[in-house]
Amino acid sequence: MSRQSAAGVSSSGRGGGESRRHPADDAGQNDQAPAEDRRILEEHTALVRNFERELTAQREEVSHAVPVLEEGVLDQNDHMPRVSRMQIELMVASLAADFTWVATLQYTNSVGQPHMKWLGIDEGQHSLSHEPNSNADAQEKLTKINAWYAGKVAHLARRLAETPEPGGDGSLLDHTTILWTNELGEGNSHSHEHIPWVLVGGGLGFRTGRALEFPGVPHNRLLVTLARAMGHESLARFGNPDYCGDAPLEGLA
């Protein structure tokens, strides 16, 4: 995407017919220059030509799909579902094109207040999350909201499963691990207990399709486990060492 954008940038910031000379265009005029200057100019010309050939080859070798982004999408509350789809498409395309190996998808900030009117919910999510557990109406709406987020994670997993692994076997999902979590276990008490962590995909070799409980275990140990699975095999702590204990966790592989 960056290369395509750059290809359309004018070399001049002004209008009109101004053009720039190519460094190699002056090669024939260098005969009068001293020998050392000619050598430097010839080396520079060769570098420019090689760089041009590399750029041309890169443009010709691009074989990944280019995501089609919707027009007229704004950074507004009611456009959140459309923005979500676009962000997921960008993530999948970036992974498929090998532009990145790591990507993050975050919905609002930690005190975000989206009003999910497309779910029939007028109240803000943050306000609902501070309602007591005895408020059945708020709990029902929060369940709908979290189900919507789960659907987005499922959509991401589905898109990865539909996309072949570039230059390898299987799908992107076979070689990718999705980590879905929340910073709190419960919004109204800001508890750090019972924080849900969901792992999807086969990229890091974890055994999925099951539910595990680690009562009272700080999530720092899980972060150490993830880091080691990504190649940092000697990492002993992640964050505050007081919460890393006997990291990493056992029983995930």
What pLDDT sits at residue 26? 52
**164 preceded by cis ω (within 30°)?**
no
Q: Which residue has the higher pLDDT, 34 or 195?
A: 195
Picking from 88, 111, 104, the residue whose alpha carbon sits closest to that of residue 160 is 88
When pLDDT is cut at 50, 70 and 90, the band that residue 10 belongs to is very low
CB atoms within 10 A of CB 221: 20
Q: In whole angstroms, give the CA distance from residue 219 to residue 238.
A: 9
**Which range among 64-68, 152-156, 168-172, 189-193 shows the weakest confidence by mean pLDDT?**
64-68
60-87 tens-digit pLDDT: 555 667 777 788 888 899 999 999 999 9
Angstrom CA distances, 40 to 23, 31, 36, 53, stand at 12, 13, 6, 20
Angstrom CA distances, 7 to 2, 21, 23, 53, 125, stand at 9, 18, 19, 14, 43
Picking from 20, 7, 148, 176, the residue whose alpha carbon sits closest to that of residue 81 is 148
Tell me which long-range contacts 47-54 makes (C-beta under 8 A, separation of at least 24): 48/22, 48/23, 48/24, 49/24
What pLDDT sits at residue 137? 97
Q: What percent of the chain has pLDDT over 90?
A: 59
| Mean pLDDT value of segment 90-108 | 92
112-128 tens-digit pLDDT: 899 999 999 999 999 99
155 neighbors 88 (Cβ within 8 angstroms): yes
When pLDDT is cut at 50, 70 and 90, the band that residue 13 belongs to is very low
Is residue 154 scored above 90 in pLDDT? yes
Q: In whole angstroms, give the CA distance from residue 48 to residue 43.
A: 9
When pLDDT is cut at 50, 70 and 90, the band that residue 21 belongs to is very low
- Looking at every residue in the chain, the average pLDDT score rounds to 84
124-144 tens-digit pLDDT: 999 999 999 999 999 999 999
Full DSSP string of 157-214? HHHHHHSBPTTSSSBTGGG--EEEE-S-SBTTTTB-SS--EEEESSTT----SS----
Is residue 99 scored above 50 in pLDDT? yes
